[in-house]
Amino acid sequence: MSKILAGRYELLETVGAGGMAIVYKATDSLLGRTVAVKILREQFASDEGFVQRFRREAQSAASISHPNIVSVYDVGREDADFIVMEYVEGQTLKKYIRDKAPFPVKVAAEVARQVAEALAHAHSGGIIHRDIKPQNIIITADGRVKVTDFGIAHAVSADTLTQAGDIVGSVHYLSPEQAKGQATVCQSDLYSLGVILFEMLSGRLPFDGDSPYAIVMKHLNETPPSLSALNPEAGPELEKIVQRLLAKDIGRRYASAGELLTDLVRFMAGRALEWEDTEGPGGTKVHETIGSSALSGPRKSKRRKLIIRSAAAAAALALLIAAALGISALFRILYVPEVTVPDLANLTAEEAELALRDAGLTIGLNINYDFSDTVEKDRVMSQSVPAEEKVKEGRVIEITLSKGVPLIPLPDLKTDHPSLENAKIRLAQAGFPDEAVSVITEPSGTVAKNHVVNQDPVPGTEWPADGKITLWVSSGEAYVMTVMPDVLKLSSAEAKKILSANYFVVTVKTEKSDLYPPDAVISTDPAPARAIMQGGPVTLVVSLGPGPPV
């Protein structure tokens, strides 16, 4: 197909279609880049109210700029209204869920973290998505999560969704307040994210039914299935996060995407989660993840009762034996032999408990935690009695598990736009090594060259000292339109030098030629004197020879 919109967007191929619009891959000839163009279906063109809402929301979405959000570049009309967006190579999260769910716990948590980053940024600008679902989330080849259709869902009324047929796909992720027709708030997006997180971890939706109405009623009235029963690997901490996201009462959900981010980062770092107990008389519950054999909560209480009962029984038995056998016999029975304490270094809590049990010892009820740069997370970094020491059989040995590399609040490097050198110094002072920092350069019309434009994760995030940090650094003024230099007949090295001065991205192809000597440029794409954006792609065709006869 070949159609040009607004004199600049050349449609190349269809890449997606929904009830509301058709999406095309296209080339922006003015800026020399690949874009996605979403064209509204014809039945919406006659609804002027809808078209006006659609344009307003698309323009609002265009104000959002974030690494986890698909950017909106332009809005226009030619036969039908259209939106021009960032073109993202990747697959929808829905396809990944169909192919690979249930996801590993850390993978699901990382996807949720990146979506939460996008929501936190949009919500801070007063923009609510209103249609968060895995079909609107794209995963790139390098694992970057991109949320699309921000703000556009607001233009789509419930009637429009029903007419378009999209309600069947969206109703699974609809918050209770949306189902009631009440005002949509930031926590509505968080509820939808909770459904997605449940689906990633279990491979199924928390609420399903034979019709959209049946599914809506379940959102309103039913409790989601137990996540731990569907996937024991999820663990109590992550299940609690999902439960808070799926709370039907907005007041019991996370207050913001930022609050959710804090819990997700804590969970991924193996740290304890904290939340207010809204059901009880007050106070804060603190949950700590220490492995499946953690001796806490009900198990700790049962164990204490068992110890008390065992001690009482032992005392009574001792009196009976003393009366029957005499003091010397009692001494022999009560004699406790010595055993050697095993080395527990780098063992998990479960492995340490088994090693102590095999040695005739007992693990302490309270397992301690501390940060470590050298010991892997959730492994023993110290023990209360040194290895190889002799102690009485049955002695309690306390252990300390590593919480992994310390978590450090990320400094703010995007507000005052420091130079890259100063940014790295500030990161080093905060405790982040230089090798943890990766740099992406991009043109900027507002930030000076070699100064920080943006960062990921966002400022204030508690981050592992060795965790990856990405800085976007300005390469100088934004690229401008220019003309293609004439490099025909030059050597490939000379041509590349000239083109690099204009920031072109050069690709070299070769072909045999009887007219041009070896290594001479035969042709270029674009051709000489054609308009081209700086930084755009250029293809050189270079001669392999043999060239003209001598």
Looking at the annotation, which residues are catalytic?
131
Q: How far is CA 544 from CA 381, 411, 489, 514, 520, in A?
A: 63, 53, 13, 9, 8
Q: Give me the half-sphere count of Cα atoms (radius 13 Å) on the Cβ side of residue 327.
A: 0
- Cβ 439 vs Cβ 451: under 8 Å: no
Counting beta carbons within 10 angstroms of the beta carbon of residue 309, is it exposed (0 to 12), middle (13 to 18) or buried (19 or more)? exposed
Asked whether the beta carbons of 362 and 393 are under 8 A apart, the reply is no
Listed in order, strand segments (DSSP E) in 148-287 are 273-276, 284-287
Element at 228 (helix H, strand E): helix 227-230
The DSSP letter of residue 136 is: G
Closest CA to 360 of 404, 330, 390: 390
Q: Which contiguous run of DSSP H or E holds residue 219?
A: helix 212-221
Residue 348 · residue 379 · CB < 8 Å:
yes
Strand partners, 512: none
Tell which residue, 6, 14, 32, 21, has the closest CA to residue 148: 21
Structure tokens at 275: 């939340």
Tell me the C-alpha distance between 376 and 347, whole Å.
10
Contacts of 376 (CB under 8 A, 6+ apart): 346, 402, 404
Three-state helix/strand/coil letters over 192-215: HHHHHHHHHHHCCCCCCCCCHHHH
Q: What residues are paired with 402 via a beta bridge?
A: 370
Residue with tokens 């197909």: 1
- CB 37, CB 9: distance < 8 Å: yes
Q: Answer positive or negative: Cα dihedral of 144, 169, 230, 100.
A: negative
Handedness of CA 325, 330, 331, 332 (dihedral sign): positive
List CB contacts of 76: < 8 A, sequence separation 6 or more.
Answer: 5, 6, 82, 84
C-beta separation of 381 from 417 below 8 A: no
Residue that the structure tokens 């043109």 belong to: 443
